[in-house]
Amino acid sequence: EKGKDPASAEEIVPLLDEITEELRFIDGEQHVILNGRDVNGMIRTEAVSKAASDVSAIPEVRKFLFDMQRNIANSNDVIMDGRDIGTVVLPDAELKIFLTAKPEVRAKRRVLQLAEKGITAKYEDVLDDILKRDWNDSHRETAPLKQAEGAIYIDNSDILLADDIENVKRIVLEAKCR
C-alpha cells in the first residue's frame, strides 16, 4: 500500500516500527488486526502472496515475524500455518503437520478461489507464481521452506477438502493437544 519494493530491505525495514498487530475473534472466526484495521481478507490475496516471498527473505522482517508469531502463540492457543512455523517459529509445537499438494493442484485451487472472489486469473500465471515462490522459499538463506523434524506429512493433492479436514481433526485428537 505504501508503494515500497517488497524485496528492498532499505525500503521495508523502516516500516516495521510502524506495525501493531493483534488477533481478534469476530463471529467465531479469527481475524488479524494490523494497525487497528481488519486485514483478514487482504492477507490471502494474490498481490500479498506474491510480495510475501520477497519481503519474508529480509532477515529483519523474519526476526520481526518470528517475535510476533511467538508472542501470539505464547498468549493464545493457536493453529498456525506458514512455511517455517514448525522449523523456525515454533520448533517445539505440540503437533506439526507438513501439509502440501502438487503445484498444479494448488494452482487450480487458487484459480478457483480467485474466481469465487470475482477475480480472473490465468492458470499458467498462477502456476508460474507458485513454482517461483516454492523455489525462492526453499532456497532462501533465512528460514527456508522444509518439512520440520517430527512433522506429519500430508499430501492432499488427491483429497477432498472435507476429507482433509476430517483427517487433520483426527490427527489433532489422537495427539491429544490441549
Grouped pLDDT means (10 residues each) for the chain, 178 residues: 92 94 84 90 78 86 88 85 88 93 96 88 94 89 87 95 93 82
In the structure grid, which three cell numbers stand for residue 94, read together?
505440540
pLDDT given at position 22: 84
Q: pLDDT value at position 13?
A: 95
Q: Please, what is the end-to-end C-alpha distance for the chain in angstroms?
A: 38
Question: What integer pLDDT is reported at residue 178 of this predicted model?
Answer: 59
pLDDT score recorded for residue 93: 92
pTM of the model: 0.74
So what's the pLDDT on residue 76? 79
Please list, residue by residue across 118-132, b when 16 or more beta carbons sit within 10 angstroms of its beta carbon and e when fewer do. Answer: eeebeeeebbebbee
pLDDT of residue 112: 93
DSSP state of 76: S
Integer Cα distance of 118 and 114 in angstroms: 6
The whole-number pLDDT of residue 78 equals: 82
